[in-house]
Amino acid sequence: MDGLRYDRLVRSPSVAPVLHGLMAAGAHGTSLLPYGMANGRAHDGRSTDMAYTDSGPGWSSVLTGVWPDRHGVTGNDFVGADYARYPDFLTRAVAARPGLRTAAAVSWPQLVRRGVLGAAIGRRVRYNGEFRGYRTADRRVARTATRWLTRHDPDAVFVYFGATDEAGHSAGPLSPAYDRALLAQDAHLGRLLAAIEARRCDPGRANEHWTVLVTTDHGHLDSGGHGGDTHAEREVFVILAEPGLPGGTRLQSPRLIDIAPTVLDRLGIPVDPAWGLLGRALPRPTTPIAEGS
C-alpha cells in the first residue's frame, strides 16, 4: 500500500478494520528507511547519503531484498536499476523452482514497465492509476487478484494499491480524502483475505497455508509529499499473518528488505549467499508452513 503512514493507520480501527484485524491476529512492527547508508554520488549527482523516500527505490527494495546502493534505483526515473543482478522475489522463486505459479497485479504501471517485476513472472497485470486515477485502478487490481485466488492456484502473489499515496499528495495524510483511500484499500485487502479463507474451506485445498505480508514504501509529510529524510517520510511498517503465529506479536524493526527473503523462506527456497540479499527472513511461527505467500 503506497505512501501509507503508520500513525494514520493505527490511530483507530475504524479507518482500516481489516488491517487492524490482521495486526491483532498476527505480527507487526515498524522501522525507518536507512539514512547515510552509502557514500559518494548517485548517477544524477545527488549524494547517496539519504533515505530515498520515493516509490521507485522503496518498491525496488521491497521486491529485491537490497537497498538502493545495490539495486541502483534512487528515484522514480529508475535510471541505474540493476534488476538483472537483483531481480524481484517472484522472479527468484521461479528461477529456483520453475513449477511455481506466480502473479502480480499493480495500479502503478511503472513497476512492470521499468522491469521491477520481471518478465519471468507467470501473470503480470498493470492498470494505469496515473491516467485513470488510483481509486479506479486499485479496484481493478483487487478484482483481478481476487479472481486469481478464486479460480486459479497461485503459489505467490504480489498486489500493489496506490490510492493512499495519491490522496497524500493531493490532500495530505491528515485529510478525510486520505482516510477514504485507506478505507477503500482496506476493503480490497478484505476481499483478498476472504478469497484465501474460501480456499481453506475447500477440501481439495485444505493443506494450503498462506502467509500474508503488508507493507508500504515510504510515509508522507503532514502537508503531503515525500522524498526527504524526516521521520514521517522514513517510517515504514510490516504486517505479517500466517498459521501458528501468536496474535498481537511485535516484530523487532522489520525492514523493507526483509520482505523478499521472508517470501522465499515461506516458499521453502533457501537464499543463496551469492545473491547478495541484505534482508533477513522474519521469524517463523511454531506451526510448519507450506507453500503460499
Residue recorded with cell 488491517: 19
39 φ, ψ to 5°? -115, 170
- Of the chain, the percentage scoring pLDDT greater than 70 comes to 92
pTM of the model: 0.92
pLDDT, position 47: 41
**Per-domain residue ranges of the chain:** 6-275
Q: What is the pLDDT of residue 284?
A: 85
pLDDT attached to residue 42: 40
CATH class of 6-275: alpha beta
**Collapsing DSSP states into helix, strand and coil, what is residue 56?**
helix
pLDDT at 290 over 90: no
Q: Which of 33-47, 65-79, 233-247 has the lowest mean pLDDT?
A: 33-47
> Which neighbouring-strand residues pair with 126?
106
For residue 40, is pLDDT > 90? no
Which grid cell sits at 43? Answer: 548517477
Q: Give the pLDDT of residue 286.
A: 53
Q: How confident is the model at residue 37 (pLDDT cuts 50, 70, 90)?
A: very low
The amino acid at 50:
M
Q: What is the DSSP letter of 126?
A: E
- Please say whether the beta carbons of 132 and 182 come within 8 A: no
Helix locations, 11-113, DSSP H:
17-25, 55-64, 68-71, 89-96, 110-113
User: How confident is the model at residue 36, as a pLDDT?
Assistant: 58
* Per-residue pLDDT tens over the stretch 84-135: 999 999 999 999 999 999 999 999 999 999 999 999 999 999 999 999 899 9
In sequence order, which residues have a C-beta less than 8 Å from that of residue 174 and are 6 or more positions away?
8, 222
Cβ count within 10 A of residue 170? 12
What are the pLDDT digits (tens) for 183-228? Answer: 999 999 999 999 999 998 888 888 899 999 999 999 999 999 999 9
Query: For the segment 137-152, what is each residue's pLDDT rounded down to a tens digit?
Result: 999 999 999 999 999 9
Phi, psi of 233 (to 5 degrees): -85, -30
Vertex 270, ends 154 and 65: CA angle to 5°? 75
